[in-house]
A and B are shown apart, each in its own frame.
Chain A
């Protein structure tokens, strides 16, 4: 049965690496579904916080059009006095970049900033699914005893550090991506240790496995793309 009331406590305890929340997830009647609901709920709340934060950011700054105008005037003065670059090309580039930056940050307004409410839970979900599946496979390969359902439930707590992202409801607040990554790594280490009853040395390898596999995959894909470009270029 879903227990959203205990999610704040589960998140708090997972942040301080207590074993209890992992045990709670493992002993849940349906850990996978509980993990899914926890991840989507937190992601949705963070998305809403981002959305409100972007509204307040827009309110705290001068109108985006006026800022763009000032930047373009600055560029014109710069290009007249110092730079010999083609002014119109650079201006077009500035306009394009500005449109993208304001759209993605929500500063420019528009419906696009609502996209974050959907994108954030989806992104957390993808991270959890990839990490959970790899941790299960590597954990079992290293002698772990946990089931896939239990592993998915426990590794869902890797989203706990993202709770700090709720503070982005305040404009200009940013949470370090490296902090979220490292903390999630520590939580996955505890999850592997608890679910698979592994000694700490093996639990470290299990927790690092998703990162290592994704890095290897990225290296392999970039190698293939690079090779393809070189062969295509030569042809």
Chain B
């Protein structure tokens, strides 16, 4: 085995995370200082001078976990109060809210609202607090996994568009740089807070978009306009595909009903 040393996996936080200074630079949109100008991310550089894809992976996972920590605790308490698994408690609450919003028009929903509430009221096989805890833990762990999916899949979309614009960047350097865009999303932890929540989510998304554009611009050497297009076009493409799929399903259902 020619892999460098036996401690690659457990090489300390420095191997898996950028320094606090790099994080601070990235949040202030000083992306060149955070990412560095390293051309070959496989060459080991002094800590804090460049970002590797491994550090990017660690950053996305840690940020996702931190963003989900407070919601996890809140969710656990909510589920313990209902005495059931979190998804059942959430489903029961949301279908109840839906029925309330629709008022008298929700007669067709009534039997299903009652059914969901009946199921949520059933005792789980394990003690209620344990079922609530396990399910809240599962929902928490899903948070970094979904951010990871966004980082890899959406990132590949951005990379393809920027390559079409003439960018020259390696996969590792690109993913290392764009991982910083997930830092502002930590603000989404405030999402459940009344009034402040929606504002925090809006700020997080806009801030993240700015970091994405600056990171793409830095690693691809594209001009600002093309960097913005690289970040936006995959979203537009996915929305168009979504609209087409929904339209196709709607047309099929309409034809079946005729």
Contacts and interface: CB of A to CB of B under 8 A. Distances in A.
Our verdict on whether A and B bind, yes or no, reads yes
Interface of A: 3, 6, 8-10, 12-13, 15-21, 23-24, 27, 56, 58-63, 66-67, 70-71, 73-75, 77-78, 81-82, 164, 167, 170-176, 178-179, 182-183, 186, 189-190
B8 A9 contact: yes
Nearest to A28: B1
A211 B25 CA distance: 40
B14 interface: no
A183 B42 CA distance: 19
B145 interface: yes
Given A172-B135, A182-B153, A9 B9 contact: yes
B114 A59 contact: no
Contacts of A18: 42, 172
B115 A8 contact: no
Contacts of B77: none
A170 B134 contact: yes
A172 B138 contact: yes
Interface in B72-122: 84-88, 107-108, 110-112, 114-115, 118-119, 122
Interface of B: 1-4, 6, 8-9, 42, 52-54, 57, 84-88, 107-108, 110-112, 114-115, 118-119, 122-126, 130-131, 134-135, 137-139, 141-142, 145-146, 148-149, 152-153, 156, 171-172, 175
B119 A67 contact: yes
B41 to A, nearest CB: 9
B87 A78 contact: no
Contacts of B153: 176, 178-179, 182
Given A170-B134, A182-B152, A176 B126 contact: no
A17 B172 contact: yes
A77 B116 CA distance: 13
B38 to A, nearest CB: 14
